[in-house]
Structure 1
Amino acid sequence: MIGDIRALLARHLPDVEVRSVTESGHGLDNEVYEVNEELIVRGSRAADPVATRREVDLLAAVRDLATVAVPEVVFADYEQGVIAYRKLPGEPLNLHPVPDPERLAAPLGRLLSALHGADPGELRELAPLDRYPAPTLLVDAGLDYRDVERHVPYEQRPLVEKFLRGTPPDEPRSMRFCHNDLGAEHLLVEAATSTVTGLIDWTDAAVTDPAHDFALIFRDLGPAVFEQTVAHYDLDFDETDRARVLFYARCALIEDLAYGLSTGPRHYADAALAHLAWTFG
């Protein structure tokens, strides 16, 4: 794909001298490259011109909502499913842990207040409605667990298996605009100062249960940071919301463990195992 990126840059940014192109990550849907250590170029594995155009429009709308830096599109090639933006400051939190994660809570609370407080009706054309039901998530988690059970420490398996035998939570009272994939890999930070510097990868943004955003904070940063984030959240949040957060966090951890042990980078599995105790405890 590097050759394709050079051709794209020659077409869309003819005045830019391409000195280096390096792969900086990949997922189920996308490949990401860094150009000249200053430009991020993300290409879809299956180009969808309509989806790419919608994401470009969504990023423009999100820049007016978010309280942290988000990608500003430099160019997009809709037919090839490619979006390019200036590299944001900071490093991914999952690869660069901060010494004081509780300092992340206040900016995360303000960010979620801004996103979830937006009028979801105004964003429905850009962010689809996501009503994936909790019972189906629980079934999916059970199937994933069958594939990874042998990798889970023996003494921790009862915690996971008790959860999988449980009852899914009630459906949410309302649906809100969410990032919908707020894992540590998408949070950019300045590690030395424990500062949030940006939020990337908005491809899964949707109008959905706001507990999904909190769930990945719980999974990746732990219950203390989660509770402090809620303390800085301006919208209603009660015990039924907490129940859904915990449910989604557990499903997401099992999913990441399965992904990291199959087709994904191993660090997803390592993080899932490291966070299993606080997520299922």
Structure 2
Amino acid sequence: MALLGEGEDNVAYEVNGELIVRFAKESDPVERATRVTDEARLLSAVAGISPLPVPEPSFTVAELGCLAYFKLPGLPLIDVPAAQRSADGIAGALGELLGALHHLPAERMSDLVSTDDQPKQLWLSEAVDTYSVVVERIPTAHRPVVEAFLDSPPPADEYAQVFSHNDLGIEHVLVDPATWTVTGVIDWSDAAIVDPAYDFGLLYRDLGPAALHQALKSYRSDIHDVDAINARAVFYARCSVLEDMAYGIETGQEKYLEKSLTALKWLYPA
């Protein structure tokens, strides 16, 4: 058994190179058990609609906050060299995934997930606070652009909410480094009813403007305004990159800080 990784919500182990056993870090035993049971139900539901592989529960031990599933093949995209991350096929596949999730009537998933959709003004206020934490690590040339964004009004909160992954950063996307195809999407613990632009914002943050364009091109939604999604995705990307920087600094995980500093080039061009 080997420690696979640890985030804010879970710690995960790999057993015999094939089984992922994950434990929730929630301290309340009732809440911990409920979360694991609900996530197992959620993963089973997502597996039925996702065009990409997702973890399917093997077993749970609810009272321990334990969820186990067989390992999906592939390498986390965050561990791929930055220059090789933005293959069109990867972004296109993720756009198709979001199209499938967002096309599902949100009310069908409301008994499995909650709503996570804060007003944009609150996003901006939190980004201002986070900026004060990370400012010393941001190259001087980018700071005036960041500060101008933080002083600007946020986009309007006018859109139909959807069911989505709600944390579609590149650390949760698995790829085959030989073919550059997506082999799975993991960690659905934050899945929720959200703004359809949010996960596109994370793709833009981590993979850049060409990837966002390709993902939206593959989205093919006849329900949501793609141009409006694009505009809000930029807003989310600019806020969340500061959050990722803070996470990298606080946890000592340099790969989060490195990808965030790279993203400043397109999010806050000097």
TM-score category of the 2 structures, normalised to the smaller one = over 0.9
Task: Give the CA deviation at 1:179.
Answer: 0.2
Tell me what 1:256 maps to: 244
Aligned to 1:247, the other structure's residue is in SS state helix
Aligned to 1:65, the other structure's residue is in SS state coil
Q: Distance in 2 between matches of 1:113 and 1:172?
A: 19
> Which of the residues 193, 202, 214 maps onto 1:207?
193
Confirm whether residue 61 of structure 1 aligns to residue 42 of structure 2: no
> Which of the residues 19, 33, 37 maps onto 1:49?
33
Residues 251 and 264 of structure 1, relative CA distance in 2, 3 Å threshold = farther
Q: Do the aligned residues in 2 keep the contact of 1:101 with 1:221 (CA within 8 Å)?
A: no
Tell me what 2:203 maps to: 217
Q: Do the aligned residues in 2 keep the contact of 1:188 with 1:196 (CA within 8 Å)?
A: yes
Task: Give the CA deviation at 1:142.
Answer: 0.7
Q: Do the aligned residues in 2 keep the contact of 1:141 with 1:254 (CA within 8 Å)?
A: yes
Tell me what 2:9 maps to: 29
> Which of the residues 163, 178, 183 maps onto 1:197?
183
Amino acid at match of 1:274: T
Aligned length: 261
Task: Give the CA deviation at 1:264.
Answer: 5.2
Q: Distance in 2 between matches of 1:44 and 1:105?
A: 30
Confirm whether residue 241 of structure 1 aligns to residue 250 of structure 2: no
TM-score (norm 1): 0.90
Amino acid at match of 1:271: K
Aligned to 2:182, the other structure's residue is in SS state strand
Q: Do the aligned residues in 2 keep the contact of 1:172 with 1:209 (CA within 8 Å)?
A: no
**What whole-Å deviation, never above 9, does each CA across 1:100-153 have from its counterpart, x for those lacking one?**
622212211211110000111110010111121111111111111101101100
Q: What RMSD in Å do the two structures reach over aligned CA positions?
A: 1.2
Matches within 5 A, 1:106-145: 106-145=92-131
Aligned to 1:174, the other structure's residue is in SS state coil
**What whole-Å deviation, never above 9, does each CA across 1:45-66 have from its counterpart, x for those lacking one?**
1251111111010000000111
**What whole-Å deviation, never above 9, does each CA across 1:173-192 have from its counterpart, x for those lacking one?**
10000000000000000012
Aligned to 2:250, the other structure's residue is in SS state coil
Q: Do the aligned residues in 1 keep the contact of 2:77 with 2:85 (CA within 8 Å)?
A: no
Amino acid at match of 2:105: D
Displaced runs of 4 or more, over 6 A: none
Q: Do the aligned residues in 2 keep the contact of 1:230 with 1:237 (CA within 8 Å)?
A: no
Amino acid at match of 1:222: G
Larger radius of gyration: 1
**Structure 2 stretches of 5 or more lacking a match?**
none
Q: Do the aligned residues in 2 keep the contact of 1:99 with 1:192 (CA within 8 Å)?
A: no
Amino acid at match of 2:173: L
Q: Distance in 2 between matches of 1:61 and 1:142?
A: 37
Residues 27 and 114 of structure 1, relative CA distance in 2, 3 Å threshold = same
Confirm whether residue 92 of structure 1 aligns to residue 76 of structure 2: yes
**Structure 1 stretches of 5 or more lacking a match?**
1-20
Residues 172 and 36 of structure 1, relative CA distance in 2, 3 Å threshold = farther
Q: Percentage identity across aligned positions? A: 43
TM-score (norm 2): 0.93
Q: Distance in 2 between matches of 1:42 and 1:210?
A: 28
Q: Distance in 1 between matches of 2:145 and 2:66?
A: 42
Q: Distance in 1 between matches of 2:156 and 2:40?
A: 34
Task: Give the CA deviation at 1:99.
Answer: 6.1
**What whole-Å deviation, never above 9, does each CA across 1:49-97 have from its counterpart, x for those lacking one?**
1111110100000001111000011111111111000000101000024
Q: Do the aligned residues in 1 keep the contact of 2:245 with 2:260 (CA within 8 Å)?
A: yes
Amino acid at match of 1:121: E
Tell me what 1:276 maps to: 264
Confirm whether residue 40 of structure 1 aligns to residue 11 of structure 2: no
Moved more, 259-268 or 175-184: 259-268
Q: Do the aligned residues in 2 keep the contact of 1:123 with 1:177 (CA within 8 Å)?
A: yes
